[in-house]
Structure 1
């Protein structure tokens, strides 16, 4: 049991290091040598857990797919309006992309190297399809303006990607209230509700 727990902790450390490397370098420029250096392991020891860069990428993609499915199930429930579920999901995804390097790395892998998706989970495409479904349902329920759902989903995903590289407000990237206000403004604008309170200061 002690040996198994040690192996589990080592595996988690490797996944975190690989995520950092993939998030910064992308799939093509990331190397197992760099991952090994981040963990303080030898390359041979790393091979004992993950025999190739592709296997490492696959582990991150699979894990992130599971995280996304849990997020969706926790919000898209019977009796919950699609607009409410969409807003909660988008805000949570935006938070997680800033805080969870594994999810951030998985989305970069899915967008930078789509060929991986032939044999591994395509997390980006799954998120896009689920957002399109929620947007379509929200429009049919009267909770959003009738813009093409695919375009709205692409806009949300593009905004999430850009938000990772932008600080909102003078407080910088740590000011979560500022960037959450930006997300609510965007969602309110997409709702088409002219009476929505778009002022982040509540005026």
Structure 2
């Protein structure tokens, strides 16, 4: 049991170290040597946990899918207001994105390299489908305006990806300055942005222009 626990802890250290590199450098610029050196391992020892850079990236992406599913379950409780569930899931995921480097890395990998995971594990497709369903429920049960549900879902994902880029710039800049991570700037920008976005969406569809 002690050996298994050590192996589990080492695996977690490898995933976090890889995420810190992937989140800043991206997949193509990351090497297993860089990940191993970050935590004082040999490349051979790292191979004992992950046989390739691709398997390491896939593990992070797969983990992010579980994070997304768990987050939805936390907000989508019985008798919860459908519009509140939609907003809670989106804002909760965005907050988690800024505090969890493994999630940031996974989302960057999924955006830049959709080929890293097979279709059933495509976290972005899963997120889009879930958000589309939540928008439909909010329209049916909570009076959410009659926007096109897939279009709203895509808009929300676009903003999430934009906040991801903001967090990456803040992380990269701070790491270069003092070797630490700080995505507080992105977090402060995120809260008013989501408030503005959901207020705008709740205003209803824009009227069609009158014909001459």
TM-score range, shorter chain: 0.7 to 0.9
Deviation at 1:120, TM superposition (A): 6.5
Q: Which structure dedicates a bigger proportion of its chain to helix?
A: 2
How far apart, CA to CA, are the structure 2 residues paired with 1:113 and 1:95? 23
Q: Where does the alignment leave 5 or more consecutive residues of structure 2 unmatched?
A: 168-181, 205-212
Deviation at 1:19, TM superposition (A): 1.0
Aligned residues of 1:61 and 1:120 also touching (Cα < 8 A): no
Aligned position for 1:7 = 7
> Which segment is superposed worse, 2-11 or 89-98?
2-11
Aligned position for 2:130 = 130
How far apart, CA to CA, are the structure 2 residues paired with 1:120 and 1:8? 26
Q: Normalising by structure 1, report the TM-score.
A: 0.85
After TM superposition, the structure 1 = structure 2 runs for residues 147-166 of structure 1, keeping only pairs within 5 Å, are: 147-166=147-166
Deviation at 1:142, TM superposition (A): 4.3
Aligned position for 1:174 = 184
Aligned residues of 1:23 and 1:104 also touching (Cα < 8 A): yes
Aligned position for 2:55 = 55
Deviation at 1:190, TM superposition (A): 0.7
Q: Where does the alignment leave 5 or more consecutive residues of structure 1 unmatched?
A: 194-203
How far apart, CA to CA, are the structure 2 residues paired with 1:120 and 1:21? 26
Do the aligned partners of residues 55 and 177 (structure 1) sit closer, same or farther apart at CA in structure 2, a change above 3 Å counting? Answer: closer
Q: Normalising by structure 2, report the TM-score.
A: 0.81
> Which segment is superposed worse, 124-133 or 156-165?
156-165
Aligned residues of 2:75 and 2:88 also touching (Cα < 8 A): yes
For the aligned residue pairs, the C-alpha RMSD in angstroms reads 2.2
Aligned position for 1:187 = 198
Do the aligned partners of residues 142 and 94 (structure 1) sit closer, same or farther apart at CA in structure 2, a change above 3 Å counting? Answer: same
How far apart, CA to CA, are the structure 2 residues paired with 1:122 and 1:164? 18
After TM superposition, the structure 1 = structure 2 runs for residues 30-49 of structure 1, keeping only pairs within 5 Å, are: 30-49=30-49
